[in-house]
């Protein structure tokens, strides 16, 4: 199973200089540097590409915060990475067995780069969203 086959990136727009550039679908909602002006920000979707089982960062964040999906989502991250969901002063993050903190972005990228986890998370999300 290869989630990258025949995938084409989305087209996004920098909210500062309005330059358009390609971005992998699963990076939607993440802060990324603009290749034109260098400003880091969350670009706006202009045109959707073609993808298989990508879940965007915005959706992953939502799955972790929503009362209906938090447990199922955080349990998967614990099974896969050994990281426990935690939060402090409205900021959510993960903590590993050694007590080290990891960002939601770090967990998201590891999941999106592991085809079987990516597929499983997509299926789980679709079951809630349908
Ligand atoms: Zn820009």
Ligand 1 centre distance from Cα of residue 71 (Å): 37
Q: What pLDDT, in 10s, does the model give residues 21-40?
A: 999 999 999 999 999 999 99
Is 15 domain-assigned? Answer: yes
Residues 35 and 61 in one domain: no
Residues 123 and 65 in one domain: yes
Determine the pLDDT at residue 5.
Answer: 63
Low-confidence ranges of the chain (pLDDT < 70): 1-5
Please give the residue range of the domain that contains residue 111. Answer: 57-129
Ligand 1 centre distance from Cα of residue 34 (Å): 5
Residues 87 and 113 in one domain: yes
Helix residue ranges, H only, the chain: 57-65, 70-81, 104-112, 115-129
Determine the pLDDT at residue 127.
Answer: 95
String of b and e for 78-90 (b: at least 16 CB within 10 Å)?
Answer: eebbebebeeeee
Ligand 1 centre distance from Cα of residue 57 (Å): 20
Contact 17, 44 (CB under 8 A): no
Determine the pLDDT at residue 60.
Answer: 98
Ligand 1 centre distance from Cα of residue 42 (Å): 10
Question: What pTM does this model have?
Answer: 0.89
Q: Which residue is associated with the tokens 């002063």?
A: 89
Residues 69 and 111 in one domain: yes
């Amino acid at each position: 199973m290869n989630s990258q086959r025949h995938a084409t990136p989305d087209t996004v727009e920098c909210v500062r200089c309005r330059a358009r550039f390609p971005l992998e679908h699963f990076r939607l909602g993440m802060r990324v540097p603009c290749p034109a002006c260098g400003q880091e920000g969350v670009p706006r979707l202009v045109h959707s590409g073609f993808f298989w089982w990508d879940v965007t960062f915005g959706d992953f964040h939502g799955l972790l915060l929503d009362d209906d999906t938090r447990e199922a989502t955080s349990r998967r991250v614990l099974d896969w990475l050994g990281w426990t969901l935690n939060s402090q002063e409205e900021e959510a993050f993960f903590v590993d067995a050694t007590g080290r903190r990891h960002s939601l972005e770090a967990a998201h990228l590891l999941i999106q780069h592991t085809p079987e986890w990516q597929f499983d998370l997509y299926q789980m999300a679709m079951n809630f969203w349908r």
